[in-house]
Amino acid sequence: MLSLDQLPLLLICVALALHLLGERRAAVKLRRPRSREARWRAASFYAGLALVIVALEGPVDDNSSTLLWVHMLQHVLLLSVAAPLIALGAPWMSIWRPLPLGFRRAVAKTVARSRALAPLRLLGRSLGRPWPALIACSAILVIWHVPAAYDFALAHQGVHVLEHVTFLVFGILLWIQVFESPPLRPRLPLSARVYYVLAFDVVCWLLSLVLAFASRPLYPSYAHLAHRPGGLSALADQQIAAGVMLGLGSLAATLYVFYGLYRWLGAPGGSTPDGRQYA
C-alpha cells in the first residue's frame, strides 16, 4: 500500500521516466542528437529531482523530526535549490510529449473549456504573472513557518506532504518568472528580475532574523524534545536553522544577482540588460 510520504518519490520517478522518453522521442524526430542547450537543461532538471530526493529521503528526512535545522534544510533544498534547477531545466514539453495523443487532447480540451475549471484557469493566469507569483511564494514561506502551522504540519503526515509540495511548486512558479523555461517566458526584463529575486530574498532574510534573534525556542515540537543529536539546545538548534535559511537559502538568489550584474555591466554598447542605453 502506497503511503503519503512515498507519493512525492513516486511522482519524481514518473516525471523522470516521462522526461527521458520525451527527450529520446525528440532526438528521433529531429534525427540528430539533442542540442547542447537541451542537454544542459536536462541535466539541470535531473539535478533538481535528485535534490528533491535528497531532501525527502535518507538522512535528511530521518533527522528532520529531531533537529529543526535539518527540517529547515529540507525546506531550503526544495524552495531555493531544487525549484530553480527544475525551472531552468524546462522539462514541460519533454514530460508532456510521451503521453498518448488522445489523452493530451482530452486534458487540453477539459482545461481550456470546462466551466468547472474556470476558477483554476483564473488562478493559473494570476500566478503566471510576476508579482502575484512573488506574493504567493512569500506568503507560503511565511505561513508555513508560523509556529502553529509548522507544528500542525509535523503532527499530520498529509499536511506535512502538502507543505513540501507547496514549497516546490510555488518555488518553481517564482523561478519561471526569472529564467527562460521554454515554452514559458519571463515577463520581466532582465534588470527587473534582479530586483524581483532580491525582493523574495528580503522575505527569507527577515524570517531567518526572527529565528536567529528570538530569545526562546519558537516551535514547541522541537522545544519539548528530551534529546537532540549532538546535545544541541533547542535555542541553538533554532539559530542554526536561521543560518541555514540565511546562507544556503540565499545561494540561488545571490548567484542570480551576480549574473544579472555581470550581464548589466558587460552588456555591449553600454546598455542595460533590457536594452536601455546608459551614459
Question: Do residues 235 and 213 lie in contact, with contact meaning Cβ atoms separated by under 8 Å?
Answer: no
**Confidence (pLDDT) at 163:** 94
Residues 6+ apart with CB under 8 A from 225: 66, 234
Domain extent listing, the chain: 4-266
Question: How confident is the model at residue 8, as a pLDDT?
Answer: 81
CA distance 81 to 47: 10
Percent of the chain with pLDDT over 90: 56
Is residue 270 very low, low, confident or very high in pLDDT (cuts 50, 70, 90)?
very low
Q: Can you give the pLDDT at residue 117?
A: 86
Name the average pLDDT for the chain: 88
The more confidently predicted of residues 6 and 273 is 6
**Residue with the larger pLDDT of the pair 268 and 6:** 6
Q: Is residue 268 over pLDDT 70?
A: no
What's residue 101's pLDDT? 87
Name, in order, each residue with C-beta under 8 angstroms of 73's C-beta and a sequence gap of 6 or more. Answer: 55, 60, 64, 244, 248
**29-37: average pLDDT:** 79
Supply φ then ψ for residue 222, to 5 degrees: -95, -35
* pLDDT tens-digit map of 41-78: 999 999 999 999 999 988 999 999 999 999 999 999 99
Least confident of 82-86, 135-139, 188-192, 212-216: 188-192
Read off the pLDDT of each residue in 246-267 and give the average, rounded to a whole number.
80
Give CA–CA dist 119/117, Å, rounded.
Answer: 6
